[in-house]
Chains A and B, each alone.
Chain A
Amino acid sequence: MTDKNMQDKPFKKSPFSMQMDLSKFELASDSEKAQQDVMRESTTFFRDGIRRLSKNYLAMGSLIVLALIVLLITIAPVFVPYGYEEVIRVDGKRDRSLINLKPFTWSEKEQEAIDQGEKLFPHIMGTDDLGRDYFIRVLYGTRVSLIVGLFASLIVLIIGLLYGSISGYLGGKVDLFMMRIVDMIYSLPDMLIVILLAVVLEDALKERIAGTILAKVGVNMITLFIVFGLLYWVSMARLVRGQILSIKENEFVLAAKASGASTGRIIKKHILPNCISVIFISTALQVPSAIFTESYLSFVQLGVKVPMPSLGSLANAARNGLQSFPFKLVFPSVMIGLIVLSFNLLGDGLRDSFDPKLRK
């Protein structure tokens, strides 16, 4: 009875019904359809950041300077016929006047050889006190400093990322315990401990690694890496943990959890993309500080050791005879300044274009 009644009755719409009354609509005209067309290609976060970065002249300039430096230190050693630890000889004989040459000058014997029609490669930055080509030494020094800077930042990044994300994601007592350790390392006066460890590790490792592949890398390099790995990861770990803690509380993570996403997927797809830019920027800014530390240690004769040059040890060596050969200080100093300045400006530029908080 009731069923029949309902069927017979004409359908009456409730005022709150979502059902549409088709008679009130009409087809869109072509011009209206055209308005819906996407005029500009949709952009991703990364592409947008790159676009912003390319408009930042300082950052782009630094990028070009860095690219030029990298190009120089990889290509130039192929063309320069001198080795970084090679004491230059003319016709197989040592030349007394070859030491401490000014840039673009020749020693007496070299001059004789040139007069006889021989072609020699110019000493672009002169020679040092042992008669080694200074240009190639500065190039190798730059190489060492850059490699140390990049690798050290990489080590810091890896340790900090792992430690920080574990601590931040697990939370609770584990987090508390892990962060206490970080607090303790963080409150150590880092430079003093770095100096101390550099002394100790160098002496302790020298005998252990003799004869292995590691010996080829050089004990000083390994020492530097270990020192960085031991001390400088803490600020990165703190940064990562803080990022993860704040992102973890967001609604979209809750939504992902509610729709059944696994922990791995949440970290990979939801949390990491949100903090990756901040981490990346901080890594870029870590490089100059690592180069600073390395050159500082080399300056107090604790870093890379002879005959391998580093910008810091070159600057230190230049202090002898500063009065007569000031150019020997100027070249490595300018190089350090240029690299550190470029990285700093690039890091600032990256932050301006990629940090979600600073974007407008």
Chain B
Amino acid sequence: MDGWDFLLIVIRVVVIFVMLMITTLLLVWFERKVVADMQDRIGPSRAGPWGILQTLADGMKLFFKEQITPRKVEFGLYIAAPILATVPAFLIFMAVPFGRPFTLTLGGEPREILLQGADLNIGLLFILSMSSIAVYAVVLAGWSSGSKYPLLGGVRATAQAISYEAALGLSVIPVVMYTGSVQLSEIVEFQRANLQFLGNVIPFIPNWNLFLLAPSFVIFFIAAVAETNRAPFDLVEAEQELVGGFHTEYSGLRFALFFLAEYINMFTMSAIAVTLFMGGWSGPTWDGVLPALVSGVLPTFWFFAKVVVLLFVYVWLRATLPRLRYDQLMEFGWKRLIPGALAWLMIIGVVLAWRQFGNPWS
């Protein structure tokens, strides 16, 4: 570990930070534009070409707005909540690989540069723990505001998070069992090969977990939508019932942080789904045919292309589905998703044991 290594880490962190900010700017615009198209509207069209700078304008407005602090707030927690929402959102993405590692000679020796914040060997656990911490932000924001609507939003958030976190965790276990690793780079590496049992019949089908573990993917995606408090699971911030839910009493930059965290979470959840089920950054790179630089950038391109597909589904769901009623939410979580995830886990366990140990009667 010398100065170069340290510098590389700093650069990686800064790059990921900036990337997430820009992604959020574009994502909000993307969502508004796609929803507008789906609802026969025009959507943002004034700031910049196709209104692409609209989010920037909104962000600037929030930045300069007064931050109103209600009298009854618990000030310490009230201030901590938006920070607590934003920091895990940034941290989760640090563990996600978004491109193929490459080697550069710096300071006299070749160094492998990961396109990933940190290649944690407990990557998946880290992600699950961080996404749990983000829930505290909502709960604390609701409680510390000293107002009834945020409190209701916070209480709903607690129940929703507990219900759907279980399903989220259970849906990930088959992936871990199948690939044999919780390290995200290894999970991606595992999916780069061709699909084994169909590969002989139809070539070029990648070994994505999506094909063999499709039920897991569906459960994971539904739980991810619920975890990020997006429609149709946005009971936490149901505008029509709870004003703004947990962020009712927040304004200006503090509100902007919640907003930022929500969209970063949406992006990172899609990125995790891509990493776990859709092969992460794997994809055809045509090494040797294309220039080295293009082949090096292509995996990152594939990664983002897959993420955009999932983000489209997020937005699509939002434009289509009405919000679930509270009892429907609970029933769906506990009576459908969790038993479904458990049953699927059992099936995968039996199949994997069969593959490893052979027939139980032989």
Chains A and B form a bound pair: no
Give B residues with C-beta under 8 Å from A: none
